[in-house]
């Protein structure tokens, strides 16, 4: 969901079931400054979330212990923490053979970069990320420009240095 919807970790750990719109495939997110935005829930994320909601979450609820109103629970039946999300991502990256320093925000960054690479308008990306200022979103264009320069240098006859 961090990658599929571009959520901040703090938004993920505080996500409540009533924020999901299954019918239209959107999440209602309250981000920084208590601003509400709507972000799409991708097909793969929706499938995984449906499984979690119907099967896995029930196994995490502890008998006789109050259950937090949040969607994602720890193995102790409590609200997941930002630190635990970071640990999970590092563990999964290691299992996948990724030795780079992987952290939760890189998934949000990848979400925005991939939208931009595939032609999404910068203002739409700004809205989905919940950035108040377009200049914050423009950081992602720098990555895209570097990639485009590299492609040009590699494949365009006039881009090659002789």
Q: What is the DSSP letter of 21?
A: E
Identified catalytic residue from 3, 28, 32, 86:
32
Residue 32 bears catalytic tag: yes
Closest residue by Cα to residue 15 from 47, 51, 53, 42: 53
Nearest CA to 114 out of 103, 104, 123, 125 is that of 125
Whether 109 is catalytic is no
Question: Which residue among the candidates 16, 94, 105, 147 is catalytic per the annotation?
Answer: 105
The yes-or-no answer on residue 147 being catalytic is no
Measured from the Cβ of residue 116, the count of other Cβ atoms closer than 10 Å reads 19
Tokens of 135: 């200049």
Give dist(CA 88, CA 84) in Å, integer: 6
Catalytic residue among 65, 131, 147, 156: 131
Is 140 tagged catalytic? yes
Does the annotation count 131 as an active-site position? yes
* 105 catalytic per annotation: yes
Residues serving a catalytic function are: 8, 32, 105, 108, 131, 140
């Amino acid at each position: 969901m961090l990658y599929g919807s571009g959520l901040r970790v703090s938004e993920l750990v505080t996500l409540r079931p009533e924020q999901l719109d299954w019918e239209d495939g959107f999440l209602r997110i309250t981000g920084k400054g208590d601003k509400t935005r709507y972000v799409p829930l991708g097909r793969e994320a929706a499938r995984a979330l449906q499984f979690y909601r119907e099967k896995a979450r029930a196994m995490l609820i502890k008998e006789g212990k109050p259950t937090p109103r949040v969607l994602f629970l720890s193995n102790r039946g409590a609200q997941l923490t930002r630190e635990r999300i970071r640990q999970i991502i590092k563990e999964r990256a290691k299992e996948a053979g990724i030795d780079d320093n992987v952290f939760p925000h890189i998934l949000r960054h990848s979400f925005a970069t991939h939208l931009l690479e595939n032609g999404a308008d910068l203002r739409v990306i700004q809205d989905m990320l919940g950035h108040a200022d377009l200049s914050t979103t423009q950081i992602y264009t720098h990555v895209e420009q570097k990639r485009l320069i590299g492609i040009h240098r590699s494949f365009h006859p006039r881009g090659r240095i002789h």
